[in-house]
A and B are shown apart, each in its own frame.
Chain A
């Protein structure tokens, strides 16, 4: 049994290699993969080095600030830059559509600005060449071209009957063809992966992190599964169709629908069903919630008047100026706590809406192996939506920490007596600034990512088991020989 499968797959492999046109196509694809790897790396290095450069500049400028009032520092704020994951050279994901820098200051939550898409006049919308793009879009196309006539030709030339008359069963034939085509694909894919690993390791000075290594390993497994699924589908369609022309048109149509059309439609439907507010509306909702909670600018506001009264009572003084700490700083810390809480709640709700929008596409992944793989790939290379949200959350946590740190410095170190109109402003030593650590984004560990991508991984698993079952048991329904 095994021998026959092996013979068929070797025969398939050889006949494909012997065909000059398909070989040329395969080599072309291999070359474009090498190019994509190289350019992807260049792009990653350039972008990350720019971001790192400005990150260091921002830190140096922060530390170099002279003695001043801590609240001035809270407004001076910090600039955070979204770092790229070292694997993001492999899959660009949403990288180009997500902002790069965010200004973090007291009282105010800003947007992440300067996405690559904002600098593009539209060519970006046709896509970006990356290793992932070649593997997700073009390799399936190659598989279709290599494999559409795998069985149909045997049928059209009459050799199928001869094969089936000899000891070859349909099952063995299908498995043999599948392995043969898969071998071709893997002989392009495996050297490339080795090259990628080598390049990646050498550029990170052979100090590869364990987490990234595991991520890459899972990626390789998922992509191999994806190729197997596509090859098996191609062979199955070839086995079930009447003519090679039907096979080719069916497979090409499926490729176009599943890869080009469906993602746009599911995303458009998601946006339609779960609409998000415009930014002005969003900010208006937050403002009105803040107003309900209390207005720190208003001396007669009941919330803040209550705080004032209880403070005066607790310290048995009759004026906030006599409190043993800076009253203004205390009130600001309270205000920051309230507004940040309200903002985060709204932002969380908004992100949940986005997740629901994306959820439609995620669900369709059960019917579309391309979408399933794309999601896993983006998540593992940290170029997905969840990583972007995680960056926003970490940046906001840093912003809040910075604002409250400066409020704390004001509470502890700034006098309650306001200087006169012509006096020198109050200030504290610049040695305090170093206490505020630099912003460093921490990527999630791979286990979390896998958990979060459970549906997409399950979809890939389902597809894999389905095509295996079909290869095993479907031949009994093949009518035409």
Chain B
């Protein structure tokens, strides 16, 4: 029994296609590790730089506007960084699209929080070359390349009748060949995981477990599909065509079509409305009696009523910050409807992912890596509460027109946000179910081969 496995391994590694397949995976895998890490390293350096700049800019502003506290806070920015987790280098996710640094003044936040990072849209279009890309796109292709001719080759080269006459357990023989390929692919994936552990300094924890289980299940799905197709006992050209077509369907056509449905069904004009609401909410107040601003302002912050409002002055910073606050307050509804839309989008994608292992795997890995849309929305929320905290901290000093030195603003540091990782284990359920489904179909087919024999 053992010997036949040894023989199968020998046979397998004698073919150049096996070596090419493994080599392709290793080379692109290491390239993915390298580019994924460079991408995150660059962000880490920018975050370090941002910490320095935060202090430098605050000092600069103190020098220039230090004698006018209202003017100082008009100019001074407060920054927060979405610090990448080690896994972010494994799956860059949406970190190239969404800003990882939010830097805003105390003025209306809705006009500032959506500002983007500097990025090349062409690079965004082509996507990142990280290790998760290699696992999701290239591993299935190599699996297909190694498996598609498994039965057909024997038949086409005329060995099949010979085998048939020599063994009465054909499906066992096929299974052995299949196992050899599975072991090889899984071994390659382990090599890449180990390389990732060392190169990206990943901690050995639940996250590692979650990512490897998702990926191994994903690979199992592709093995099951390939096994099913070859069990139909058609020609090798047929197998290759069908499997590549399936790959194109699952990796390109279906996600791309569903995405178009998504953008069509859940377009987000509310975001544009939100900008307009914020802009009008603030600017229109200049032409209105001060009461229009201050009444809702004191309703929002009853405890700030204790500070005397200079109603007789044409301009006061108190009024100015009140007007800015109105920009945000009048955009609350539209902001909520944007959030609502995004939730609907998430739900649509989650349902679609149940049927698309490719999307499911990508979402699952990005989720663990903290590089998905949810992580970014959590970052925005964290910045919102930081912004609110800053406002509440400095409003009194501004309204009382205190000296800037009383505020201790010079000690402001760059805030750090670390996305929490959610592990949605239910993702594994759909992957497992699809894999099992194809395995059962395969077994039925193989039994038929057995009977036909």
Chain A residues near B (Cβ < 8 Å): 32, 39, 42-43, 46-47, 50-51, 53-54, 57-58, 61, 65-66, 68, 72, 75-77, 79, 81, 93-94, 96-101, 103, 110-129, 133, 137-138, 141, 145, 148-149, 244-245, 248-249, 252-253, 256, 260-261, 263-265, 267-268, 270-272, 275-282, 284, 295, 297-298, 350, 354, 357-358, 361, 385, 388, 419-425
Given A98-B121, A127-B256; A122-B94 close (CB under 8 Å): yes
- Chain B contacts of A117 at CB under 8 A? 94, 97, 124
Q: Which of B7-15, B162-170, B216-224, B233-241 contacts A (4 or more CB under 8 A)?
A: B233-241
Query: Which residue on chain B has the smallest CB distance to residue A142?
Result: B245
Binary interface encoding of chain B residues 324-358 relative to chain A, with 1 for a CB under 8 A from any of its CBs, else 0: 00000000000000000110011001001000001
From A77, A253, A297, contact of B64 by CB (8 A): A297
Measured CB to CB, the closest approach of chain B to A259, in angstroms, equals 9
- Chain B contacts of A249 at CB under 8 A? 145, 240
B280 at interface by CB-CB < 8 Å: yes
- Chain B contacts of A264 at CB under 8 A? 126-129, 133
For window 230-272 of B, CB contacts with A under 8 Å fall at: 236-237, 240-241, 244-245, 248, 251-253, 255-260, 262-264, 267-269, 271-272
- Chain B contacts of A297 at CB under 8 A? 64-65
Q: Are A278 and B121 in touch, CB under 8 angstroms? A: no
Chain B residues near A (Cβ < 8 Å): 28, 31, 35, 38-39, 42-43, 46, 49-50, 53, 57, 64-65, 79, 93-94, 97-99, 101, 103, 111, 114-118, 120-129, 133, 137-138, 141, 145, 149, 236-237, 240-241, 244-245, 248, 251-253, 255-260, 262-264, 267-269, 271-273, 275-276, 279-280, 283, 286-287, 312-315, 341-342, 345-346, 349, 352, 358-359, 362-363, 366, 372-374
Given A267-B126, A388-B121; A295-B64 close (CB under 8 Å): yes
CA distance A419 to B315 in the complex (A): 11
Measured CB to CB, the closest approach of chain A to B344, in angstroms, equals 11
Q: Are A94 and B314 in touch, CB under 8 angstroms? A: no
Measured CB to CB, the closest approach of chain B to A272, in angstroms, equals 6
CA distance A379 to B115 in the complex (A): 26
Given A68-B287, A116-B263; A97-B121 close (CB under 8 Å): yes
Q: Are B120 and A123 in touch, CB under 8 angstroms? A: no
- Chain B contacts of A126 at CB under 8 A? 251-252, 255-256, 259, 358-359, 362
- Chain A contacts of B359 at CB under 8 A? 122-123, 126
Task: List 5 tightest A-B contacts by C-beta distance, closest first.
Answer: A126-B255, A278-B46, A121-B373, A97-B124, A127-B256
Measured CB to CB, the closest approach of chain A to B429, in angstroms, equals 19
6 contacts between A and B (CB under 8 A): A66-B287, A126-B251, A127-B255, A253-B145, A278-B101, A279-B117
Measured CB to CB, the closest approach of chain A to B366, in angstroms, equals 6
Given A50-B269, A123-B255; A278-B276 close (CB under 8 Å): no
- Chain A contacts of B362 at CB under 8 A? 122, 125-126
Q: Are A46 and B267 in touch, CB under 8 angstroms? A: yes
Q: Are B53 and A94 in touch, CB under 8 angstroms? A: no
| Count of inter-chain pairs, beta carbons less than 8 A | 252
Query: Which residue on chain B has the smallest CB distance to residue A25?
Result: B245
CA distance A421 to B241 in the complex (A): 80
Q: Of residues A253, A260, A422, which shows the largest number of chain B Cβ atoms within 10 Å of its Cβ?
A: A260
Query: Which residue on chain A has the smallest CB distance to residue B38?
Result: A272
Q: Are B349 and A421 in touch, CB under 8 angstroms? A: no
Q: Are B50 and A278 in touch, CB under 8 angstroms? A: yes
From A111, A128, A133, A357, contact of B120 by CB (8 A): A357
CA distance A112 to B279 in the complex (A): 16
Q: Are A121 and B372 in touch, CB under 8 angstroms? A: yes
Query: Which residue on chain A has the smallest CB distance to residue B283?
Result: A76
Q: Are B345 and A121 in touch, CB under 8 angstroms? A: yes
Query: Which residue on chain B has the smallest CB distance to residue A55?
Result: B272
Q: Of residues B39, B244, B363, which shows the largest number of chain A Cβ atoms within 10 Å of its Cβ?
A: B244
Q: Are B118 and A123 in touch, CB under 8 angstroms? A: no
- Chain A contacts of B312 at CB under 8 A? 422
Q: Are B236 and A280 in touch, CB under 8 angstroms? A: no
Q: Are B122 and A268 in touch, CB under 8 angstroms? A: no
- Chain A contacts of B272 at CB under 8 A? 50-51, 54, 81, 100-101, 114
CA distance A297 to B72 in the complex (A): 12
CA distance A350 to B120 in the complex (A): 10
From A47, A133, A424, contact of B314 by CB (8 A): A424
Query: Which residue on chain B has the smallest CB distance to residue A69?
Result: B286
